[in-house]
Amino acid sequence: MPDNTLEKIINNYLNINSAIITLVTIGLITIITIVAYSLERRISNSSPLYRRAAIHIVEGVILASSMIMLEKIFFILNKGSINNGWLYANAQLTILLYCMYLVRNKVTLLINLFMPLFYYQSMIFKRFDDKNLPLFITAYLFLIAIIIFIYIKTEKLQDNEWKYVGMQAQFGLAWWALIWTDHDFPAYEIFNMLVVFLIYMSIIRFCARKMQDTMMNYNDLKVQVNYDELTGVRNRANFDKTSKELFETYSKEAIPLTVTMFDIDHFKEFNDKYGHSIGDEVLKHVAHTMEREMFLTDTKGQLFRFGGEEFIIIFRGKNPSACIPIVSDLRNTLINTPLVLKNQRLDITISFGISELKLTDKDFDNLFNRVDQFLYDSKNSGRNHLTVEGVTYSFDDLNEKQ
Write out pLDDT tens, residues 363-387: 999 999 999 999 999 999 888 899 9
Q: Based on the domain organization, do 173 and 191 belong to the same domain?
A: yes
What is the spatial distance between Cα 364 and Cα 248, in angstroms, rounded to a whole number? 9
The predicted pLDDT at position 388 comes to 93
Range of the domain at 178: 3-226
Contact 111, 57 (CB under 8 A): no
Q: Based on the domain organization, do 203 and 260 belong to the same domain?
A: no
Does pTM top 0.95 for this prediction? no
Instruction: State the DSSP string of 235-299.
Output: -HHHHHHHHHHHHHHHTTSSS-EEEEEEEETTHHHHHHHH-HHHHHHHHHHHHHHHHHHHHHHT-
Instruction: State the DSSP string of 68-79.
Output: HHHHHHHHHHTT
Q: Based on the domain organization, do 174 and 76 belong to the same domain?
A: yes
261 forms beta bridges with 312, 353
3-state helix, strand, coil in the chain (%, to 5): 70, 10, 20
> How far is CA 325 from its chain centroid?
33
Q: Is the dihedral of CA 13, 14, 17, 20 positive or negative?
A: positive
Give the chain's domain count. 2
Q: Based on the domain organization, do 201 and 252 belong to the same domain?
A: no
Q: Based on the domain organization, do 175 and 308 belong to the same domain?
A: no
Q: Which of 226, 247, 274 is the last residue of a domain?
A: 226
What is the spatial distance between Cα 291 and Cα 307, in angstroms, rounded to a whole number? 17
What is the spatial distance between Cα 59 and Cα 84, in angstroms, rounded to a whole number? 29
Q: Which of 175, 191, 226 is the last residue of a domain?
A: 226
What CATH number does residue 335 fall under? 3.30.70.270
In a domain, 112, yes or no: yes
Q: Which residue has the higher pLDDT, 215 or 331?
A: 331
Q: Based on the domain organization, do 382 and 280 belong to the same domain?
A: yes
Please report how many Cα atoms fall inside a 13 Å half-sphere around the Cα of residue 392, on the Cβ side.
14
Tell me what the mean pLDDT of segment 340-354 comes to: 88
In a domain, 376, yes or no: yes
In a domain, 120, yes or no: yes
Q: Based on the domain organization, do 59 and 157 belong to the same domain?
A: yes
pLDDT digits (tens, 9 = 90+) for 283-302: 999 999 998 888 887 777 89
Which stretches within 41-105 are classed as H helix?
49-77, 85-102
Q: Based on the domain organization, do 201 and 259 belong to the same domain?
A: no
In a domain, 322, yes or no: yes
In a domain, 231, yes or no: no
In a domain, 44, yes or no: yes
Q: Based on the domain organization, do 190 and 252 belong to the same domain?
A: no
Long-range contacts of 129-133 (CB under 8 A, 24+ apart): 130/181, 130/182, 132/180, 132/181, 133/181
Q: Based on the domain organization, do 274 and 373 belong to the same domain?
A: yes
Q: Based on the domain organization, do 23 and 162 belong to the same domain?
A: yes
Angle between helices 276-297 and 267-274 (to 10 degrees): 140
* Neighbour tally for 376: CB within 10 Å: 14
Q: Based on the domain organization, do 262 and 320 belong to the same domain?
A: yes
Tell me what the mean pLDDT of segment 354-371 comes to: 92
The predicted pLDDT at position 45 comes to 58
Tell me what the mean pLDDT of segment 90-112 comes to: 82
In a domain, 34, yes or no: yes
Q: Which of 206, 226, 246 is the last residue of a domain?
A: 226
What's the pLDDT band for 263 if we cut at 50, 70, 90? very high
In a domain, 83, yes or no: yes
